[in-house]
């Protein structure tokens, strides 16, 4: 069976994945913490925690709240910063066979470009995922992803600053995600990933205050899956670049729905908190489905629900 997919078919350093299953940014750290939990090397790609130019402490606690069928987080991009990532993490990734995609975030367009430039040519970094969709930072983030012009401006700046393949990660919090997707594809994105979390809140009725230190957070997990699936279906029908589906994927059946909607690959996020083996179980379940259904190439399933 052939499960391999190309995420940047037109880019000169093609982003070749052995299979379509990836981690979702921010839910498996830098991968180095998880090597004892499951064999990361079996994944199609590993996406690391969002990285900024400077280290960030993130938002005040509490930063996580469980909700029915979902998780609300307001981490606020806590991370070690790009220099520490290059010094401490990239050398480890350079020894891995699984490609590592570095998720980048910034509050200003020029900082996205600086990050992209800094990561260009770093051994161990195979591609960038440009997060223009974080709901948990004061400026930038989802503001860029909500507007087609701003989204295109960030994409163009990153495109100019790096020779790495780039995925641009979209927010569901926009009135027209198709226009945003088309704008970033036109501006040079090799692939589009979606979705990031949906903004929400929880109130602690005993304290009569918002539960999260940041007041609001981003909702992820099974609760957002139908929303994510529909947005992937819409975007995959509107752009020529590969689409990576994300949002509430916990099982192979979930992943197959996204693939049939038009996703070339999928990311597993919140499900890993409950079950660290979830990404591998998703992969194994896809393999079993293909064997059962007599499918020889994953390409036969991509967009199958669209015809
Ligand atoms: C705790 C946590 C941290 C996250 N951090 C990031 C991040 O740094 N960058 C990013 O692009 N997305 C981040 N996300 C969003 C996920 O990558 C993903 O888009 C979202 O959670 C939906 O997928 P899921 O339902 O499978 O978790 C984070 C999500 C969670 C739950």
Atom of ligand 1 nearest to the CA of 221: 25
pTM, two decimals, is 0.97
The pLDDT assigned to 181 comes to 98
- The pairing of strands 203-204 and 209-210 is antiparallel
106 close to ligand 1 (CB < 6 Angstrom): no
CB-ligand 1 contact for 272 (6 Å cutoff)? no
> Of 7, 102, 130, 134, which one is the catalytic site residue?
134
pLDDT grade, residue 207 (50/70/90)? very high
Question: Is residue 143 predicted with pLDDT exceeding 90?
Answer: no
What's the pLDDT tens digit per position in 54-90?
Answer: 999 999 999 999 999 999 999 999 999 999 999 999 9
**Beta-bridge partners for 204:** 209
Instruction: Using alpha carbons, select from 159, 62, 50, 135 the residue that is nearest to residue 101.
Output: 50
Q: Which tens digit of pLDDT belongs to each residue from 259-285?
A: 999 999 999 999 999 999 999 999 999
pLDDT-derived band at 38, boundaries 50, 70, 90: confident
Looking at the CA of residue 249, tell me the nearest atom of ligand 1: 26
Centre a 10 Å sphere on the Cβ of residue 126 and count the other Cβ atoms it contains. Answer: 21
Per cent of the chain over pLDDT 90 is 92
Q: State the average pLDDT over residues 128-145.
A: 84
Q: What is the pLDDT of residue 108?
A: 93
Residue 138 above 80 pLDDT? no
Q: Could you check whether the bond before residue 155 is cis, i.e. omega within 30 degrees of 0?
A: no
Known catalytic membership, residue 48: no
269 Cα to the center of ligand 1, angstroms = 6
44 band by pLDDT with thresholds 50, 70 and 90: very high
Ligand 1: centre distance to CA 78 (Å)? 12
- pLDDT for the residue numbered 134: 83
Q: What angle do CA 60, 62, 66 make, to 5 degrees?
A: 145
pLDDT of residue 185: 98
Give the integer Cα–Cα distance in Å for 85 and 115. Answer: 11
pLDDT value at 152 more than 80? yes
Predicted confidence (pLDDT) per residue in 20-29, tens digit: 999 999 999 9
Decide: 282 in ligand 1 pocket, CB within 6 A: no
Question: Cα(286)–Cα(258) distance, rounded to whole angstroms?
Answer: 12
Structure tokens at 267: 């990311």
Alpha carbon distance 233, 258 (integer Å): 8
Distance of CA 209 to the CA centre of its chain: 31
The answer on pLDDT for 33 being more than 90 is no
Confidence band, pLDDT 50/70/90 cuts, at residue 142:
confident
Helix (H, G, I), strand (E, B) or coil at 227: helix
Predicted pLDDT of residue 9: 87
At 36 the pLDDT is 79
Q: Which of the 8 DSSP states describes residue 98?
A: S
Whether 34 has a pLDDT exceeding 80, the answer reads no
Residue 88 CB neighbours (<10 A)? 12
- Ligand 1 in contact with 73 (CB < 6 A)? yes
What own/partner pairs with CB < 8 Å and gap ≥ 24 does 86-89 have? 86/118, 86/119, 86/122, 89/30, 89/32, 89/48, 89/124
- How much is the pLDDT for 135? 78
Q: What is the rounded average pLDDT of the residues 147-168?
A: 97
Q: Which two tokens stand for residue 120?
A: 């260009």
Ligand 1, atom 10, residue with closest C-alpha: 25
Regarding the beta carbon of 220 and ligand 1, being less than 6 Å apart is answered yes
- Count Cβ atoms below 10 Å from residue 152 Cβ, excluding itself: 22
- Strand-strand pairing, 16-17 and 5-6: antiparallel
Cβ of 197 less than 6 Å from ligand 1:
yes
Q: What is the distance between the alpha carbons of residues 132 and 140, in angstroms, rounded to a whole number?
A: 7
Query: Hey, which bits of the chain come out as E strands?
Result: 5-6, 16-17, 21-23, 46-47, 64-67, 70-73, 100-104, 127-131, 166-169, 191-194, 198-200, 203-204, 209-210, 217-220, 243-246, 265-268
Beta bridge partners of 185: none
């Amino acid at each position: 069976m052939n499960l391999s997919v190309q995420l940047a078919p037109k880019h000169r350093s093609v982003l070749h994945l052995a299979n379509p299953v990836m981690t979702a940014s921010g839910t498996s750290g830098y991968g180095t913490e998880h090597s004892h939990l499951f064999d990361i090397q079996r994944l199609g790609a590993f996406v690391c925690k969002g990285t900024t130019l400077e280290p960030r402490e993130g938002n005040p606690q509490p930063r996580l709240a469980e909700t029915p069928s979902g998780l609300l987080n307001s981490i606020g991009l806590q991370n070690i910063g790009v220099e520490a990532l290059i010094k401490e993490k990239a050398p480890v990734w350079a020894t891995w066979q699984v490609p590592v995609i570095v998720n980048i975030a910034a509050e200003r367009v020029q900082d996205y470009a600086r990050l992209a430039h800094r990561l260009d040519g770093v051994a161990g970094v195979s591609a960038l995922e440009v997060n223009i969709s974080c709901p948990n930072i004061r400026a930038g983030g989802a503001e860029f992803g909500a507007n087609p012009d701003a989204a295109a401006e960030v994409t163009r700046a990153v495109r100019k600053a790096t020779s790495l393949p780039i995925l641009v990660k979209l927010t569901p919090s926009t009135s027209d995600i198709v226009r945003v997707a088309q704008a970033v594809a036109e501006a040079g994105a090799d692939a589009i990933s979606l979705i990031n979390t949906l903004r929400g809140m929880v109130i602690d009725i005993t304290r009569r205050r918002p539960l999260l230190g940041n007041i609001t957070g981003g909702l992820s997990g099974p609760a957002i899956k139908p929303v994510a699936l529909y947005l992937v279906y819409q975007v995959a029908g509107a752009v020529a670049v590969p689409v990576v589906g994300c949002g509430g994927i916990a099982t192979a059946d979930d992943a197959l729905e996204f693939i049939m909607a038009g996703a070339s690959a999928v990311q597993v996020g919140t499900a890993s908190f409950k079950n660290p083996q979830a990404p591998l179980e998703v992969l194994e379940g896809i393999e079993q489905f293909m064997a059962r259904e007599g499918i020889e190439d994953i390409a036969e399933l991509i967009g199958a629900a669209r015809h």
